[in-house]
Amino acid sequence: MLESVTSSSVQPTAGDTTSRLASVFAEVLSLPEDRIHADLAPVDVDQWDSVGHVMLVAAVEQEFSIHFEVDEIMEFTNFQSILSAIDRRMTT
């Protein structure tokens, strides 16, 4: 899975975070991990509807022990955008 993610231009230094986030995606969206990549977006996944999106945000918050602000959540459009938000939180 991780190879698939990093091959789609995810920051190499974000490896552990990337792997944990991919695991959250796989579980919440019932996806095989080899389908997860940086550009993965709701249009690519049937289960990533509005309910799936809320579940995803909640699961990510729980996994990384953070609480996103509304301004951050509104920028979530794909895997990479959520990963970037986590990275920003972890470096501040």
Partner 1 sequence: MQEANETSPRALIGHLAGHARAKPSSLALAFGTRAISYGELWERVLGAADLLREEGVEHGDRVLLAAPREPEFFCAYFACHLIGAIAVPHEPDIAPAKMRSIIELIDPKIALTRRDGPPEVKCIPLRSTASTYAADLPQPDEFEGPNADAIADILLTSGTTGKPKGVILTHGNILAAARNINQFIGNTARDREAVALPISHSFGLGRIRCQILAGGALILTSGFQFPKEIFKAMSSWQATGFSFVPAAWVTLKRLSGERLGQFAADLRYLEIGSASMARADKEQLMRLFPQTRICMHYG
Residues 6 or more apart whose Cβ sits within 8 Å of residue 65: none
CA–chain centroid gap for 50, Å, is: 15
Q: Which is nearer to partner 1, 14 or 31 (CB)?
A: 31
Least separation in angstroms between residue 30's CB and partner 1 is: 12
Q: Which is nearer to partner 1, 3 or 71 (CB)?
A: 71
How far, CA to CA in Å, does 19 sit from each of 49, 58, 69?
23, 17, 23
> Do 48 and 29 touch, CB atoms closer than 8 A?
yes
| CB 7, min distance to partner 1, A | 26
Taking the CA atoms of 23, 25, 30 and 36 in sequence, report the sign of the dihedral they define: negative
Q: How far is the CB of 80 from partner 1 (least distance, A)?
A: 16
Q: Which of residues 32-91 bind partner 1 (CB under 8 A)?
A: 42, 46, 48-54, 57, 70, 73-75, 77
> Under rule CB under 8 A, how many of the chain's residues touch partner 1?
15
**Which residues are at the interface with partner 1 (CB under 8 A)?**
42, 46, 48-54, 57, 70, 73-75, 77
